[in-house]
Structures are given as structure tokens and as C-alpha cells.
Amino acid sequence: MALMITDECINCDVCETECPNEAIFEGSEHYEIDPQRCTQCVGHYDTPQCVEVCPVDCIPLHPHWHESMEELQQKYLMLTRS
């Protein structure tokens, strides 16, 4: 599953720089996550770094973007392929 950022986001800028896949970007009202680039940090870290640093706990699993750990691993390999 990809992650998403909810309306509770306070635009603190902390999560964007923590994302190893550059999936987080500044949206029109708050930060957003591109689900096609989000691997929940699989391949990089043991836990999603944006969730670890978020001061308001506004980064849950995306309810409409379901992926297995194997699919996240494959996405990681695709994104890091040179």
C-alpha cells in the first residue's frame, strides 16, 4: 500500500526531504504523496521515514492503493534501476 497525507497536514516541510523516492511534493493545500513512487520506504528503510518524522501523525495507508510487500519491493527495484 502506498501512503497518503491527510488534511491534518500542517505543511511543516519535514516529510518531503525524508522520502528516498521523492514521492512527496507540495500540493495546493498541503503536502501530497505520489502513490506511484511511494514504496513505504521498502528497500531503503525498515519503516516509512515520513511517518517517523511527522509531528501531527497525518500519514496513514492509502485506502485505495493496495500493494503487497512483494509489489513494493518490485516498485523499489524499478525506481532505483539505472
As a whole number of angstroms, the distance between CA 55 and CA 74 comes to 30
As a whole number of angstroms, the distance between CA 38 and CA 60 comes to 12
Model confidence at 49: pLDDT above 80: yes
Query: How much of the chain exceeds pLDDT 70, in percent?
Result: 99
Residue 8 located in a structural domain: no
Range of the domain at 20: 14-80
Q: Residue 49's CB: how many other CB atoms inside 10 A?
A: 19
- pLDDT by residue (tens digit) across 31-47? 999 999 999 999 999 99
Q: How far is CA 26 from CA 15, 19, 34, 55, in A?
A: 10, 13, 11, 17
Residue 1 located in a structural domain: no
Residue 33 located in a structural domain: yes
Residue 29 located in a structural domain: yes
Residue 44 sits in a domain whose CATH number is 3.30.70.20
Number of domains comprising the chain = 1
Residue 75 located in a structural domain: yes
Residue 9 located in a structural domain: no
Mean pLDDT calculated for residue range 45-66: 96
